[in-house]
């Protein structure tokens, strides 16, 4: 396979990149020179967009220019912080740095003239920027006149701002990319798109140069919104590669064999008879789709999309029973231990009266018990085995796996899913696959992300639910909310208090949650309050969730680990802190934890004022709708109108350049081209997949 533009060239071949830097780039997912070249700027700093300090807008990325009048180091709870006060003719602004070294400190000495670029936040008295990009004005003066002497900063109007990680500066990234661009100039890449498409796009080298060094006269919005031909080329390629790979997987799947499992009513009948409720019309319809797939001799690959609380578990149970009554085994994979345990409890209760063996491969098992669990799966004694994906990848072997069920699919990548699926291959027969997700994705996006799957939708909630009432409240009214929590608990209800990501680091986040618990315990001393977060040991987490389920814990403070699936019907109030920082899909998932019982439930979205216009609009959507599909659609519309939030990851798909939300208009074109390309230019299709999705190559050649 030709190496396109250095897809196989390790990053370390670039001059100036040793093991330490390579490791940092690795953290960003950059392993090869191509990855680096495709590491596109998040946005561009526009030197021409300088604002007077008294005219800045909160939430906007802006350049301000002024003189440093004060420079101090302030100890904070976590680390020391460097704070620079800069002044122009109109006012004072603060620049704050958590990660700084002596060099930065020295550069930012009083009297220095600098321009700083970053997001404007409102501080106590002045606007501020956290970790802004900055340039010392004095350094930019006149060295250009010196023949060939390199300038310290390139004189470009637009400076790219790249996604980065701790310890990797913009300058280092920029330098590495410039080296890669030089290499590219010396070794022009081979064009792999068929000739009929050439004219529509710029060639690779030109396009990359424009993206990393936008010319003065460019309309920079065209680049950031994905409309400029330079970036369109890569969006198109990646979408195409992704779609082709899904298509290939689907075709591959259709050539495989599976055991046809026809319902014989041995278990399904008595199960439904004993169930305290009847399935909804939507559940019945979706089960019918599933049973008709499973009766065929090609493996089912069906995705069930159903809003939170729509009753996907019951659908999974019926699919499992169909496999089991045909003498097959079933594997159920959940994204977290908490969910795996919850499924284990439900399925045991449902299946034990039928004499069906359900087992749980928990992370808590002792080595001996784990071995026993594995033995029982291998001997066929276990009919249904439940666990997290980590556990299934371990060493599980089945005698006769007929069905793989994957819950909350958006947490798993396509590759993980396919790996588990392949585990079940016996005598050239594949297991059927049922995938469930609560992340509603609008249709156009689903066509791409789930292009390899058949999709059924549960579009109806079980009867008797009272919709959750959502209110949006400023953090200034926090005391009232604490009183509200108190009242709910006194009335015998349970409450979630969700403490969301405050810092980028999970450790700091967990710390913030611990402080919150202390605060709440002090204010509400008579309540039983506990904390659950991602950094805790899994058995600790389990035990707390268990106590919450049993009603022993009244107020559960949690980070977003409770986002998916947890079912505690007595919980009727949820407070979400910093709601303005979360995506709508995530807020909707979180809110889905309440409103599961018959009591009227409330969700309080606490925000930190002032709210930007977009944040306001988004919280408004949450207040107005409880329907995941509507929320997802609105989310797109709001984003479409300006703010570019990264959507490189959606429904388990993970893109380098594509932002599915931003780029959705291209999807239908790509689909058309993809079909014809796979027929008329199979070599080109292979090369595209190989260069964009190298880990999927094995499915292509299979």
Residues in the site for Mg ion, rule: CB under 5 A?
A: 312, 565
Candidate ranges 193-201, 305-313, 352-360, 496-504; the one touching ligand ADP (CB under 6 A): 305-313
Candidate ranges 155-163, 301-309, 328-336, 397-405; the one touching ligand ADP (CB under 6 A): 301-309
Q: Decide if residue 286 touches ligand ADP (CB under 6 A).
A: no
Handedness of CA 691, 693, 696, 701 (dihedral sign): negative
CA distance 311 to 307: 9
Q: Decide if residue 335 touches ligand ADP (CB under 6 A).
A: no
Q: Decide if residue 285 touches ligand ADP (CB under 6 A).
A: no
Token output for 661: 């939300």
Binding residue (CB under 6 A) for ligand ADP from 32, 248, 280, 601: 280
Residue number, nearest CB to ligand ADP: 311
Q: Which does 7 bind (CB under 5 to 8 A by kind): ligand ADP, Mg ion, none?
A: none
Closest approach of Cβ 341 to Mg ion, in Å? 13
Q: Decide if residue 383 touches ligand ADP (CB under 6 A).
A: no
**Beta pairing, strands 653-654 & 649-650:** antiparallel
Q: How far apart are the first and last CA of the chain?
A: 16
CA distance 276 to 567: 17
Q: What Å distances lie between residue 247 and 18, 286, 296, 427, 677, CA to CA?
A: 39, 24, 20, 25, 11
* C-beta closer to ligand ADP: residue 438 or 447: 438
* C-beta closer to Mg ion: residue 335 or 565: 565
Closest approach of Cβ 397 to ligand ADP, in Å? 28
Angle at 554 between CA 548 and CA 559, to 5 degrees: 65
């087992």: which residue's tokens?
359
Binding residue (CB under 6 A) for ligand ADP from 24, 312, 417, 662: 312
3-state DSSP of 535-578 = CCCHHHHHHHHHHHHCCCCCEEEECHHHCCCCCCCCEEEEEECC
Q: Decide if residue 310 touches ligand ADP (CB under 6 A).
A: yes
* Contacting ligand ADP within 136-165 (CB under 6 A): none
CA distance 516 to 598: 29
Q: Decide if residue 123 touches ligand ADP (CB under 6 A).
A: no
Binding residue (CB under 6 A) for ligand ADP from 59, 127, 189, 311: 311
CA distance 182 to 197: 26
Candidate ranges 243-251, 303-311, 471-479, 547-555; the one touching ligand ADP (CB under 6 A): 303-311
Closest approach of Cβ 334 to Mg ion, in Å? 9
CA distance 304 to 406: 10
Token output for 280: 């909804």
CA distance 696 to 182: 30
Q: Which does 694 bind (CB under 5 to 8 A by kind): ligand ADP, Mg ion, none?
A: none
Q: Decide if residue 320 touches ligand ADP (CB under 6 A).
A: no
Q: Which does 59 bind (CB under 5 to 8 A by kind): ligand ADP, Mg ion, none?
A: none
CA distance 248 to 678: 9
Q: At what angle do helices 506-523 and 478-490 cross, to 10 degrees?
A: 70
Binding residue (CB under 6 A) for ligand ADP from 35, 325, 452, 567: 567
**Beta pairing, strands 571-576 & 602-607:** parallel
Q: Decide if residue 314 touches ligand ADP (CB under 6 A).
A: yes
Cα-Cα-Cα-Cα dihedral of 382, 387, 391, 393, to 10°?
Answer: 80
Q: Decide if residue 115 touches ligand ADP (CB under 6 A).
A: no
* C-beta closer to Mg ion: residue 453 or 458: 458
* C-beta closer to Mg ion: residue 263 or 597: 597
Q: Decide if residue 313 touches ligand ADP (CB under 6 A).
A: yes
* C-beta closer to Mg ion: residue 407 or 509: 407
CA distance 530 to 406: 30
Length of the chain: 702
CA distance 527 to 516: 14
* C-beta closer to Mg ion: residue 7 or 312: 312
Give the per-residue contact string, 420-449, with ligand ADP (x = CB under 6 A; - = no). Answer: ------------------x-----------
Binding residue (CB under 6 A) for ligand ADP from 127, 160, 309, 424: 309
Report the b/e string of 263-302 with b at 16+ CB within 10 A.
beeebbeebeeeeeeebbebbeebbebbbebbeeeebbbb
Q: Is 606 helix (H, G, I), strand (E, B) or coil?
A: strand
Q: What Å distances lie between residue 695 and 21, 198, 415, 420, 700, CA to CA?
A: 24, 27, 8, 15, 10
Closest approach of Cβ 336 to ligand ADP, in Å? 13
Q: Decide if residue 563 touches ligand ADP (CB under 6 A).
A: no
Token output for 43: 């946005």
* C-beta closer to ligand ADP: residue 85 or 591: 591
Closest approach of Cβ 407 to ligand ADP, in Å? 7
* C-beta closer to ligand ADP: residue 283 or 456: 283
* C-beta closer to Mg ion: residue 158 or 344: 344
Q: Which does 586 bind (CB under 5 to 8 A by kind): Mg ion, ligand ADP, none?
A: none
- Binding residues (CB under 6 A) for ligand ADP: these are 277, 279-280, 283, 306, 308-314, 438, 462, 565, 567, 596
């Amino acid at each position: 396979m030709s190496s396109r533009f250095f897809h196989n060239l390790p990053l370390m071949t670039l001059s100036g990149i040793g093991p330490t830097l390579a490791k940092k780039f690795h953290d960003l997912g950059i392993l090869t020179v191509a990855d680096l070249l495709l590491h596109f700027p998040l946005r561009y700093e526009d030197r021409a967009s300088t604002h007077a300090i008294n005219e800045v807008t909160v939430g906007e990325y802006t350049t301000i220019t002024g003189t440093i009048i004060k420079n101090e180091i302030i100890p904070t709870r976590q680390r020391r912080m460097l704070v620079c006060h800069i002044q122009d003719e109109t006012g004072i602004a603060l620049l704050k740095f958590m990660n700084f070294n002596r060099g930065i400190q020295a550069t930012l000495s009083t009297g220095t003239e600098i321009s700083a670029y970053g997001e404007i936040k409102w501080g106590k008295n002045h606007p501020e920027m956290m970790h802004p990009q900055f340039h010392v004005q004095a350094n930019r003066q006149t060295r250009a006149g010196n023949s060939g002497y390199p300038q310290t900063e390139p004189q470009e109007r637009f400076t790219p701002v790249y996604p980065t990680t701790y310890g990797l500066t913009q300058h280092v990234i920029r330098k590495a990319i410039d080296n890669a661009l030089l290499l590219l100039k010396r070794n022009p890449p081979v064009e792999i798109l068929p000739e009929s498409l050439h004219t529509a796009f710029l060639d690779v080298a030109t396009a990359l140069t424009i993206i990393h060094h936008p010319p003065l006269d460019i309309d920079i919005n065209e680049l950031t919104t994905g409309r400029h031909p330079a970036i369109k080329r890569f969006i198109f390629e990646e979408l195409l590669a992704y779609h082709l790979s899904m298509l290939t997987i689907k075709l591959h799947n259709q050539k495989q064999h599976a055991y046809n499992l026809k319902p014989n009513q041995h278990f399904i009948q008595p199960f439904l008879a004993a169930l305290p409720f009847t399935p909804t019309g939507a559940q019945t319809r979706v089960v019918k789709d599933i049973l008709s797939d499973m009766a065929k001799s090609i493996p089912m690959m069906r995705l069930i999309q159903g809003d939170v609380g729509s009753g996907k578990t019951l659908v999974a149970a019926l699919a499992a029973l169909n496999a089991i009554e045909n003498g097959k085994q079933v594997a159920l994979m959940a994204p977290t231990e908490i969910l795996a345990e919850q499924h284990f409890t439900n399925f045991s209760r449902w299946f034990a009266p039928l004499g069906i063996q359900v087992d749980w491969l928990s992370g808590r098992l002792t080595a001996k018990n784990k071995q026993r669990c594995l033995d029982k799966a291998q001997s066929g004694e276990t009919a249904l085995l439940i666990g997290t994906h980590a556990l299934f990848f371990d060493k599980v072997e089945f005698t006769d796996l007929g069905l793989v069920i994957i819950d909350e699919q958006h947490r798993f990548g396509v590759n993980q899913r396919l790996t588990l699926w392949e585990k079940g291959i016996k005598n050239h027969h594949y297991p059927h696959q049922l995938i469930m997700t609560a992340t509603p994705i609008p249709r156009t996006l689903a066509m791409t992300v789930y292009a390899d799957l058949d999709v059924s939708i549960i579009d109806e909630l079980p009867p008797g639910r009272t919709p959750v009432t959502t209110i949006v409240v400023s953090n200034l009214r926090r005391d009232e909310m604490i009183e509200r929590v108190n009242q709910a608990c006194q009335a015998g209800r349970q409450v979630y208090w969700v403490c969301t990501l405050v810092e980028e680091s999970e450790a700091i986040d967990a710390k913030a949650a611990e402080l919150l618990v202390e605060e709440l315990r002090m204010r509400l001393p008579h309540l039983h309050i506990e904390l659950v977060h991602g950094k805790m040991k899994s058995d600790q987490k389990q035990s707390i969730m268990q106590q919450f389920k049993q009603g022993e814990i009244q107020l559960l403070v949690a980070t977003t680990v409770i986002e998916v699936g947890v079912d505690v019907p007595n919980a009727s109030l949820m407070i979400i802190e910093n709601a303005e920082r979360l995506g709508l899909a995530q807020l909707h998932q979180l809110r889905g934890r309440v409103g599961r019982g018959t009591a009227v439930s409330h969700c309080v979205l606490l925000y930190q004022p002032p709210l930007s216009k977009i944040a306001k609009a988004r919280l408004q959507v949450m207040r107005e709708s409880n329907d995941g599909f509507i929320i997802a659609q609105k989310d797109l519309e709001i984003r479409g109108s300006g703010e570019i939030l990264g959507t490189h990851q959606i429904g388990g798909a993970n893109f380098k350049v594509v932002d599915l939300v931003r780029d959705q208009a291209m999807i239908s074109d790509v689909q058309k081209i993809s079909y014809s390309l796979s027929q008329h230019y199979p070599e080109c299709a292979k090369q595209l997949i190989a260069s964009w999705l190298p880990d999927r190559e094995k499915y292509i050649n299979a």
